[in-house]
Structure 1
Amino acid sequence: VVILFVMLEVLVSYPDLTVRLVDGPNRCSGRVEVYQDGSWGTVCDDNWALLDAQVVCRELSCGPATEAPHQAHFGEGSGSILLDDVACMGSEGSLLECSSGGIGNHDCGHDEDASVTSPLYVGNLFIYFLLGKVRLVNGPNNCSGRVEVFDSGQWGTVCDDDWDQRDAQVMCRELGCGEALEAFGSARFGKGSGSISLDDLACSGSEVSLLQCPHSGLGNHDCGHHEDAGVTCAGEINVLRLVNGPNNCSGRVEVFHSGQWGTVCDDDWDLLDAKVVCRALGCGVALEAPDQAHFGQGRGEIWLKDVQCSGNEGSLLGCSSDGLGSHNCGHSEDAAAICEGQSGLNA
């Protein structure tokens, strides 16, 4: 049985203060900003920790915080830095209830902007299941990643023994992410930690929840985290990757659409476009936006041309372009991105 609770996307306001998360993949992950005296400002990462992030997430009805990134993880803000040395207990109802250096008092730059990550957000819904909760983590978006199940108070992974397209189909449908595109094994989206919750899944593909499928029982397994299962769903039409570069955060830009990877034409390709790619992949700030197949020519389809991002979009498909598949380019014009990170969400 699936119980859905619709969470309205509203900003939580307090006197003279509104809190938001920006430049992330959704409203529950991003750079922390607060509104005061008519303008938005950032929060310095000095002493920034998971307890502080927990308060922000609760304030925005985003569920438990999972990370409290430092060093402008979701890009540098602009304007004022309003809070520094935040030291929350974790139980406060607002960030302003936490100890700090006071509004506007800081010794920071925007390269120290604090952030929050909460992977529980899926579209406009939090999805709660009678027998447990499921999520996809460490992927390029909410519809791709390592499969995890919430049981006995903690998140655990799923072993890839017998993991196949039918199991992935149930997972994708359960999260409202559409059709399953690929079912991965061997910790494709990185190794999890803690418990391994499920093994030997044998879904027919028609189940409503992953926990309705036959399995060896919660917590019963003979696996290691190098066998963690993953999935890519079609719910977010563009799945990005950087390939043929020195690491997961530099390379030729490729987009997954209609069941296959394709490249992006370098017409009008610039640093603002690369910024969107780097942020979407968890690779930090964009350093360069090479053109002319800098990392080699791709093959197959060229999915995008004349991409024109403002730099704030959460997805490359949120940017202006000629439309998927419309182009007059060759692979000698394949676009690329070089990000400051070394290992992004696809590592």
Structure 2
Amino acid sequence: MYAYYLIACYRGTVQFVRCMRSNQERETLKFCPQTVARQLRSLSLLATTNNYRFGFPHRESFDRFAVRYRCLLPLDIAHYQTVYELSKDILEQQGNKFHQHYRLGKTQVFMREPLREHLETRRNVLLDSSAIVIQKNLRKWLAERKFARKQHAAIVLQSGLRGWRARREVERRRKEIRKAIDMETRKIRRLNLYAETEEGCENNTVLATEYNRTIDSASLADVQYLDLPKSVENDLKSGLFSNRMSDIRTVYYYIPYNKRIGKSLELPMETIEQFAENNFKVCIKLTGHLLQMRREPIATPFLHKETEMEFNQSLGMFAMILQYMNNAQMNCEQLAILGKAIIQI
């Protein structure tokens, strides 16, 4: 019960009833003017009565007044002043209309009812507008966070859908390419089988022509060639060997290892062709891969190059090798020119 009364007194406006003694001896029907005057002075009853008589019924200390109404001043001014200066500035900011509605004492501010109502009204309006600004910013932040989540979810869904469509399209095109390759392979096999039969002996020339045309169309359809270097293109157009293919020979030079290291090493001599054939056979047996033209693009065809010249040189070699391996329209002379250019690089 005692705690309830304390809470009620703390929340409400407390009105104190002050009692005065008529005499020091507490006797009935005895009045002592000195005792009464001393109590009136200690309770400031005369000053309070004069304030009410002069029209200043409301009073507050400088600390409470500055804390309650400092929000009416700009923020930069309210930080660098004392409570007395703050109280004086707050009252002067109300204009000449309320110039006679307040008095400043030594420790308190005395106000009339119109000035107090004006200050309370301005304070309530400022608090309402500040609450609206806070609510607006909070709602804005919540809306932005909600929108960001929805946007992220939409982006995730869109990326997933686009990825699924792209994979489906790639798979469809891959099936079409495989189907076309299978059809061409079956057609070539049928032509070969028909050419080997006795009934097709008379049409060997026609079948060979159709076979070459099929090979050329398949190679042109499946392989996209790169531009050759200008010097190689000029040699191919001009005909460097002038139909002297019978005089062309490929010579291999092998330098024997003669350096002695205490004990002579007897290494087996093996040509490049033999080494490639033996190692390719081992790779085929172990991995089961077939040595044939790749139908899928190479992700990283070149190693890292330090300069642009090295990269262009590698690109030119790749273009020449691609033409040399897949272009069935070149004759023997052009293939020889292209092979010599590849060896020189």
TM-score range (shorter-chain normalised) is under 0.3
Larger RCO of the pair (alpha carbons < 8 Å, separation 6+):
1
Normalized per residue, the structure richer in strand is 1
TM value normalised by structure 1: 0.16
TM value normalised by structure 2: 0.16
Larger radius of gyration: 2
Normalized per residue, the structure richer in helix is 2
